[in-house]
Structure 1
């Protein structure tokens, strides 16, 4: 079996489902006798509009279903997590984006169908004012114009460049889905256009398809608002080079599975804004630990709250200072423990994207000492790409611990420094000692440091050769890195000699 015959199978299932629904609805609306009068007026535009509207109702239902965070609990069921996250490659964020893209696409099809039908009706009518009435004064047109404007506005605000530049715009424009659903429901059910006392459209009840999913999603959101936020106090904090903040929060009973994240809110910064951050805590820790990269408005404000100066954190004063109280929501997201059901695990991260893997290594370290027989995993390979030595400083103690304690699991690591050499880096390499014969002279890790970027096709070839059974590839951090890895892995696994089963998972 080729490595990636099942690549993004869940995406293919979603697309196939929409095509089947669209074709089935087109056949029904083009043949049913209940719409014979409407078809005589609007022609094929009616079928296109109605079929596209049916897919839109399906998209709304799926959007609500994927919006339920309880789906992440599937990763805790051993018999389901390998099917859902391994073979089907299910990711809630990706499924959400696919639904949004489908909604925009079929909304445009729906609008084109309406315009084509209105033009056909205007040409067939003896009254020249009919087309103007249909386009400007009918309830179908008015609600359609408002809904398409809201949907396009939300879509533009959700684009990656806009989202990264103005995150608050993306966050608050997504709340427009509430009036958008109300307008869509009115658009689908309030068909009041009549010509010669004949109904153009029958009343639509398609919104009943997504209503149960919407009520379930709203109920979960209300429950989360009431139950999920709880206070936690900072017990330790440190500021590392390149803007990385290390936080330790005290919260009794807090347990996060490897790879899960927590939404953090600081009332002193914002009463409404929160951000997700991956936990690095192990299962035995009594609190929550995070590494936060200071890159945006929220994290910059957080850094200013915790640091005396921008040059660094006053660690001597850290125990006596009064830190702000945080509100935590979570943990959320699927667990990365599914990797223990594979023979070989390949972990790829860049920058602070290493944080989910730190919690995974802590979990593997505990399991190797207590329940080693329950782990199928025998080889762990880590590829970590950093911009400089300073950017990697915060994680070196963790990696040294894992190298020295995960030897039985054949832990192998390659750290790549992607930036060009500077004078201080050359000086470090020149000051070699006897210890550097067995350790890297800069990082003091057993694994040597590589420079540049990985040659992925060569790396995959070296990894797949000894792996004869199953391999899981987990990426974390930049979506650009994940896309690059996926493209190279797909190209590599299409070779005829590839026989190893490979699943891929991305930690968003």
Structure 2
């Protein structure tokens, strides 16, 4: 009746079950952070695999789309065959109600058809909004459509209830091809497979058909329950109040936000999800921590760049425009900041900077934020780190961008010089746009001037120099910035430009 469409639809359904269960695991951020932080359980290779969680999530999503196309195409052919090859001999096996029924009517009047169309629509919206061009420009659309996965899984559970495909349950009593005959007058059935006059087996009873046992919930239930349990845990943890201590405005539309939260602990390189109900009650945006709590200093901070609608509205709430006219406010009145919630912290690739003897940190523009927390940890005197030499490369379009962390760079440089460790921290600053080299205007930043260069780094030469200076060692390369820089570094690390030195590439990714 169905032919090859039956095989393709069943096989693609199994592949969909697998990927729909795996796609949720990379989104269990707290679980991945726990595994990453358990050094006795997770080795450095294991943590590097965890850095690919987003890539794995995207791969599962693409696989779901591909197998959905196969599954839908096969079932469209099956619906046509159900109508055209209607079986008068076995009416219970048919999905169509009569021969020649309109296939569109079958789709719109059956549970598998209606739920299948809804699943395709939701999956299409999620896929289109996940494209980089839309996600970068219209993050709100991506956020809201991606959260339709809750509706997607609910409809998926309904989709398997319909039972479009059936199988025979009494194969022994009614083998395929047996000769059917009427029952005796006493109501007793003929003996099973009694030989017929022409030598073929007789049917012992009429065929019985049953829907295939739903297997989707067996695949999806465990990851779905795990994800729901984590979301409940994260919600309980994030409802603790957050106090905004200070807001600092930096050049190039960058804001620094310093906060305080009870029992908040974090490691350098981790990130948080920030929610501001005054801007949007449901949107959570990731920001890397640039300051972690340390001993008696319990405040933590982030740097955010105003590049979209959400950050623009959030900045307006943090720094309201000055009112016109003369208005005298009482001296005791304090600035009223918007209410915010913080979820996290969560692990990222930059946590492993301290787990190498030699590390190379490459930042592009605002991508310096994960490494700023690492540098501040070195300044605060974090102990128990394996790191013996740190190379730090920061590429910016404008000279003013270096003012974001100029004080931090100078303070760390002076600290290491006082401790007679000048080779511990190797700083290289690049201004990609500019006709001539300009110096940082303030005198206290003059220590950074010899490390300023015009143009872009020559990555192959840079890695070769680092390789010659650290022969026989394993160098951790950490990148947070434009895709062009990360692709070049990834290719050079895999090609091993200097014999005897191993470069391990780690890309900073979070969503």
Q: Does structure 1 residue 104 correspond to structure 2 residue 65?
A: yes
The aligned counterpart of 1:403 is 413
Match of 1:327 among 341, 362, 368: 341
Give the Å deviation of 1:384. Answer: 0.9
CA contact (8 A) 1:385 1:416 kept: yes
- Equivalent residues in 2 for 1:487-506 (5 A)? 487-490=491-494, 492-493=495-496, 497=499, 500=502, 502-506=504-508
**Structure 1's 309 and 245: CA in aligned 2 closer, same or farther, altered over 3 A?**
same
For 1:365 and 1:181, locate their aligned partners in 2 and report how far apart those are by CA, in whole Å.
48
- Equivalent residues in 2 for 1:272-351 (5 A)? 272-284=282-294, 285-309=297-321, 320-334=334-348, 336-351=350-365
Match of 1:85 among 47, 67, 70: 47
The aligned counterpart of 2:448 is 445
Instruction: Report which structure shows greater RCO (CA 8 Å, sep ≥6).
Output: 1
Question: What SS does the aligned partner of 2:72 have?
Answer: helix
The aligned counterpart of 2:397 is 387
C-alpha deviations, 1:40-64, integer Å up to 9, x for none? x322222222122112111121122
C-alpha deviations, 1:218-273, integer Å up to 9, x for none? 12212322332222222222211111112222334322211111222333333333
Question: What SS does the aligned partner of 1:473 have?
Answer: strand
For 2:83 and 2:390, locate their aligned partners in 1 and report how far apart those are by CA, in whole Å.
67
What do you get for the CA RMSD once the two structures are aligned?
3.2
Give the Å deviation of 1:204. Answer: 2.4
**Structure 1's 234 and 194: CA in aligned 2 closer, same or farther, altered over 3 A?**
closer
The aligned counterpart of 1:171 is 143
CA contact (8 A) 2:160 2:216 kept: yes
Give the Å deviation of 1:480. Answer: 4.6
For 2:210 and 2:85, locate their aligned partners in 1 and report how far apart those are by CA, in whole Å.
14
For 1:60 and 1:280, locate their aligned partners in 2 and report how far apart those are by CA, in whole Å.
35
Q: Does structure 1 residue 212 correspond to structure 2 residue 222?
A: yes
The aligned counterpart of 1:418 is 432
CA contact (8 A) 1:348 1:384 kept: yes
Gaps of at least 5 residues in structure 1 are 1-40, 311-316
CA contact (8 A) 2:431 2:455 kept: yes
Q: Does structure 1 residue 222 correspond to structure 2 residue 224?
A: no
Give the Å deviation of 1:116. Answer: 4.1
CA contact (8 A) 1:144 1:187 kept: yes
TM-score by length of 1: 0.78
For 1:325 and 1:138, locate their aligned partners in 2 and report how far apart those are by CA, in whole Å.
48
Give the Å deviation of 1:359. Answer: 1.0
For 1:291 and 1:496, locate their aligned partners in 2 and report how far apart those are by CA, in whole Å.
36
**Structure 1's 388 and 501: CA in aligned 2 closer, same or farther, altered over 3 A?**
closer
The aligned counterpart of 1:267 is 277
CA contact (8 A) 2:486 2:507 kept: no
Match of 2:3 among 35, 43, 59: 43
- Equivalent residues in 2 for 1:130-279 (5 A)? 137-192=109-164, 199=209, 202-279=212-289
**Structure 1's 123 and 303: CA in aligned 2 closer, same or farther, altered over 3 A?**
same
CA contact (8 A) 1:283 1:363 kept: no
Give the Å deviation of 1:499. Answer: 5.4
CA contact (8 A) 2:490 2:505 kept: no
For 1:238 and 1:283, locate their aligned partners in 2 and report how far apart those are by CA, in whole Å.
18
**Structure 1's 322 and 175: CA in aligned 2 closer, same or farther, altered over 3 A?**
closer
Gaps of at least 5 residues in structure 2 are 88-98, 168-205, 323-330
**Structure 1's 390 and 365: CA in aligned 2 closer, same or farther, altered over 3 A?**
closer
**Structure 1's 128 and 270: CA in aligned 2 closer, same or farther, altered over 3 A?**
closer
Larger gyration radius, structure 1 or structure 2: 2
Q: Does structure 1 residue 352 correspond to structure 2 residue 366?
A: yes
**Structure 1's 298 and 198: CA in aligned 2 closer, same or farther, altered over 3 A?**
same
For 1:330 and 1:342, locate their aligned partners in 2 and report how far apart those are by CA, in whole Å.
25
CA contact (8 A) 1:256 1:281 kept: no
CA contact (8 A) 2:493 2:504 kept: no
**Structure 1's 448 and 501: CA in aligned 2 closer, same or farther, altered over 3 A?**
closer
Match of 2:26 among 66, 69, 84: 66
C-alpha deviations, 1:85-124, integer Å up to 9, x for none? 23x3533322222221111111112223323444555665
The number of equivalent residue pairs is: 444
Give the Å deviation of 1:82. Answer: 0.9
Question: What SS does the aligned partner of 1:78 have?
Answer: coil
Give the Å deviation of 1:450. Answer: 1.7
C-alpha deviations, 1:255-294, integer Å up to 9, x for none? 2211111222333333333322211114413111121111
